[in-house]
Structure 1
Amino acid sequence: MNTTINAKFIKMVKSKYQEVLDLGEQLNVQNGDVQEENGVLKINGTTQTQYEKNILWDKIKQIGGENPSDIQADIKVADSSIYHKHTVKKGESLSKIAKHYYKDPMKYTAIFEANRSILKNPDVIHPDQELIIPNI
C-alpha cells in the first residue's frame, strides 16, 4: 500500500471506531494506546472494572460485528475483585441497579450482601451512596 492510501485507510478505520475511542476517554481508560498495523487498528488500555471493559467490547461489536477483523483490543482491568462501583441516583432501587448490571432485577440480593457494611435494609438506599457491584 502506498503512503497516501495507507494514511487514508488508517483515517477511515479510526473514524469508524471513533465512538470506541471517545468511550475510552469518557471511561478514563489508563495507559491507552492506539496504533495501526497491517490494516488493523490495535487499541489497548486498562479500565477500572470489568463492567467498563464490557462496555468497550459491546461498542466494538456494535460497530464492527461479533468478530471484527479490522480492530484488535487488549483491554485489561485494574480491579477485578469487583464488577463495578455504582453511585446511587434519586429514584433507584437495588432491583433496578441489578437489572442494569446483571439484566436480572432479582440479583439485587447479591448487591445487598456485598454492601451490608453500609446497607441495613435492601429496600432503603440513598442518593450518592457508593455501592459495590460484585462479580457473580
Structure 2
Amino acid sequence: MGLFDFAANIGKKLFGRDDPPEQQAAKVQEHIQAANPGVDNLQVEVSNGVATIKGDAKSPEALEKAILMAGNAMGIQEVKAAEATVAGQAAQLATDDEFYIIEKGDTLWKIAEKAYGNGSKYNAIFDANREVIEDPDKIFPGQKIRIPSSLK
C-alpha cells in the first residue's frame, strides 16, 4: 500500500456513503482546511472513493499531510495529487519520510520504539502528524501516518 492508497472501510467518518460526490468533496475539503496543513487554493474532488487534491502546498510535508487527511477519511480508498504543486513547482513529496499503517495494539510510544529505538520520541511522531492525529491517545488500526526520518 503506497502513500496514495488507503483502506476505504476505516477512518474518520466525514460523510455518508449515499452523499453525492460534491458533498463528499466539500466535507473532505472542510476537514483539511480546518487543520490548515499549509495548502493554498485547496480544491478536492471525490468520485467512487477516489479523492483528487489540487492546490499549492507550502512544502512537501504539507502536501503529504493533506493527502493523509483525505485518505484517512472513511470511504476514501485512493488519493490523487498529480495536479497539486509545492511552492508553485511540480509536486514532489518528502522522500526521506516513511509512512506507517497503524496496527491493532499500536501506540505512538510503540511506533516510536519500532522506528527510532526510543519510545520517548513519540511526541515527534505526533507533532509530524498533528493535522492527521487529533489526539495522541486516539489512533486507530489502518490509519496511515508519517514517520519523520530526521530523528533516525
Common fold by TM > 0.5? no
Give the alignment's TM-score, normalised by structure 2. Answer: 0.36
Give the alignment's TM-score, normalised by structure 1. Answer: 0.39
The structure having more radius of gyration, on CA atoms, is 1
Whose relative contact order is higher, 1 or 2, with alpha carbons under 8 Å and at least 6 apart? Answer: 2
